[in-house]
Amino acid sequence: MTSNSGRSRGRKEKENKKAFRKLTNDYLCALDQFCRRAQNSDNVLENLKPFSKFSKNDLKLDITYRKAESFDETTSEEIFSVFEQNMRDMYEKSAVGWIKREKWDELFDNDARYVLARDDANMLHGFVHLRFVVEDNQDVLYCYEIQVNKLSQSKGLGTFLMKLLELIAFYNGFSKIMLTVFDINEEAKKFYKTKLGYVLDPFSPTAQDEECDYEILSKSIKQNPKVEKPQLPSGAILSS
Ligand SMILES: CC(C)(COP(=O)(O)OP(=O)(O)OC[C@H]1O[C@@H](n2cnc3c(N)ncnc32)[C@H](O)[C@@H]1OP(=O)(O)O)[C@@H](O)C(=O)NCCC(=O)NCCS
């Protein structure tokens, strides 16, 4: 038979667990709001004025930030065309295949945010599609796409755009950048890993020895002491 003190200890433990669950839920809600705030920002490049121009080799480009929901049909077509020229072959060889409608919906989802690089004739040379999300219980700047049009590749634009993403993450207090890359995309893997210091993310299926034709890479971003962000209650371990 359980003693009175045993019962009260049991009750206390239950209460503690409940209180702790609430703290953890509150933390996750606050983290979600933290990401939403960055998502809702009209211009995350506002404090990064020196990076509003890219000038290297024969490229002279303006760098702007846009929400996909503000795109007209021409802008969407232009982005899709750069994407298709670079990626269609790889999608056709992959397990997901090439399904234009699905990719179009993902690229121009209301949550999609873009950094665009255009010249003075308004031609698009490259772009990044990014989103601020909670991923595996962490605040993450997710790089959905980086695409540089074929004529402008190997001129430093890709590196510039990825470094700009790191600054965007830092200034908004995000602790990690994540991205997905096809296993057969050797050039891009070399670019991310060797040039930019990305590593296999622990949540990548390939990190868990699963058969898969893509990998998830990530890079940790130094914490910005000026940004207030939700703190995980001490001792909490979040299950993913
Ligand atoms: C991957 C990608 C984004 C890289 O962008 P990029 O603008 O070509 O990259 P950069 O020019 O900054 O650097 C890439 C290479 O060009 C080289 N490079 C940079 N400046 C250069 C210059 N002035 N002249 C010659 N080469 C140069 C770099 O050294 C680097 O080569 P290395 O890694 O073999 O040493 C781009 O090639 C691309 O859009 N690829 C197709 C789409 C794709 O695969 N996207 C990734 C999906 S996950």
The mean pLDDT of 80-84, rounded to a whole number, is 98
pLDDT exceeds 60 at position 240: no
Over range 51-73, report the average pLDDT. 98
Mean pLDDT of 159-165: 98
pLDDT tens-digit map of 101-138: 999 999 999 999 999 999 999 999 999 999 999 998 89
Residue percentage of the chain with pLDDT more than 90: 82
DSSP 8-state class, residue 68 = G
The pLDDT, as a whole number, for residue 239 is 64
**Distance from the alpha carbon of residue 100 to the mean position of ligand 1, in angstroms:** 25
Distance 151 CA to ligand 1 centre (A): 11
In CATH terms, the fold of domain 43-220 is Aminopeptidase (3.40.630)
Ligand 1 within 6 A of CB of 149:
no
pLDDT (average), residues 71-79: 98
Which residue among 155, 178, 189, 196 has the greatest number of ligand 1 atoms within 8 angstroms of its CB, and so is best to mutate?
155
Q: Residue 148 pLDDT more than 70?
A: yes
178 neighbors 217 (Cβ within 8 angstroms): yes
Q: Other C-beta atoms within 10 Å of 61: how many?
A: 22
User: What are the extents of the domains in the chain?
Assistant: 1-40, 43-220
Residue 199, SS3? Answer: strand
Percent of residues, the chain, with pLDDT higher than 70: 97
Across 160-169, average pLDDT: 98
| Res. 156: pLDDT tops 80 | yes
Contact 123, 82 (CB under 8 A): no
Among 60-69, 91-100, 125-134, 225-234, the minimum mean pLDDT is found in 225-234
Ligand 1: atom nearest CA of 188 is 1
12 ligand 1 Cβ < 6 A:
no
pLDDT of residue 237: 65
CA 124 vs CA 65, 86, 128, 177: distances in Å: 13, 14, 11, 24
**101 phi/psi in degrees, rounded to 5:** -55, -45
**Span 194-217, pLDDT tens digits:** 999 999 999 999 898 888 999 999
Determine the atom of ligand 1 nearest the C-alpha atom of 192: 1
pTM flag (> 0.85) = yes
Q: What is the pLDDT of residue 106?
A: 98
pLDDT higher than 70, residue 2: no
In sequence order, what are the residues at sequence separation of 6 or more whose Cβ sits closer than 8 angstroms to the Cβ of residue 95? 213
167-179: pLDDT as tens digits = 999 999 999 999 9
Q: What is the pLDDT of residue 1?
A: 56
For the Cβ of 85 lying below 6 angstroms from any atom of ligand 1, the answer is no
